[in-house]
Amino acid sequence: MAAKRRKKELVEPLIVAVGQYGEFEVTYRRVPGDEGPVAEFFGFVDGKRVNILRFADFKYDTHYRYNPDTPQDRKFSLDPVVVHNRHDELIYIMDALTDMVQAAGYKGLATSMRRDQNLDVSIAVKSTFDVMKALRRQEKRKAKMAK
C-alpha cells in the first residue's frame, strides 16, 4: 500500500508485512535537531489501516509511541544514561510487538496475532530493523559525501 510521502521523510516508505495483520512502514526522517530511521506499525482493524505504534531510532531521542498522532499518543524515550546502546535496545522492544499492540488498545488484533501459528513476529521485526539500519548507513554515507 503506497503511503503519501510526508515532507520530513527523506525516502519513500518501505513496507514490511506482518502476516495478514498489519505492516511496518519504514522511512528516514529529519525533525528539528534530530534524525533517524522510523518504523510505524499499521494494523488492519475492522478493514482499516490504523497507525498503532511508531519506533524512532533517532540519533538523540530514540523512542517509541503508542497511537501516534492521536489524542491517545504516548511517547517513551530510551534514556541514554540507563540504556547504553539505544539502537540495539529498540529491537528488543519491537520484538514485543504483539503485547504492545494489545497495550495500545487493540486486544482483538493482538489475540489474533498470538493465535496464528504461522506468524513469526520476530522475523518481521528483524527485517524491519535491518531496513532501519540500512537507511541509517545510507544517510551517513550521504552526509560524508556532502562534506
Tens digits of per-residue pLDDT, 11-62? 788 899 999 999 999 999 999 999 999 999 999 999 999 999 999 999 899 9
4 is a domain residue? no
pLDDT at 101: 97
pTM score of the predicted model: 0.86
- Number of Cβ within 10 Å of residue 83's Cβ equals 16
Q: Which residue has the higher pLDDT, 106 or 125?
A: 106
CA distance 121 to 39: 14
- What pLDDT sits at residue 85? 80
Asked if residue 3 has pLDDT above 70, the reply is: no
Residue 24 located in a structural domain: yes
C-alpha cell at 134: 540500512
The answer to whether residue 23 is domain-embedded is yes
pLDDT band (50, 70, 90) for residue 82: confident
Residue 9 belongs to some domain of the structure: no
The answer to whether residue 74 scores a pLDDT higher than 90 is yes
**Helices and strands of the chain, counted as H and E runs:** 4, 6
Rounded distance between C-alpha atoms, residue 48 and residue 63, angstroms: 26
Specify the DSSP class assigned to residue 9: B
Domain-located, residue 1: no
Average pLDDT, the chain: 88
Q: Would residue 20 count as lying in a domain?
A: yes
5 in a domain, yes or no?
A: no
Q: Decide if 139 is inside a domain.
A: yes
Q: How confident is the model at residue 115 (pLDDT cuts 50, 70, 90)?
A: very high
Asked whether the predicted pLDDT for residue 129 surpasses 70, the reply is yes
Question: Which DSSP helix (H) or strand (E) runs through 127?
Answer: helix 121-146
Domain that holds residue 21: 14-146
Read off the pLDDT band of 8 (50, 70, 90): low
Q: How many domains does the chain have?
A: 1
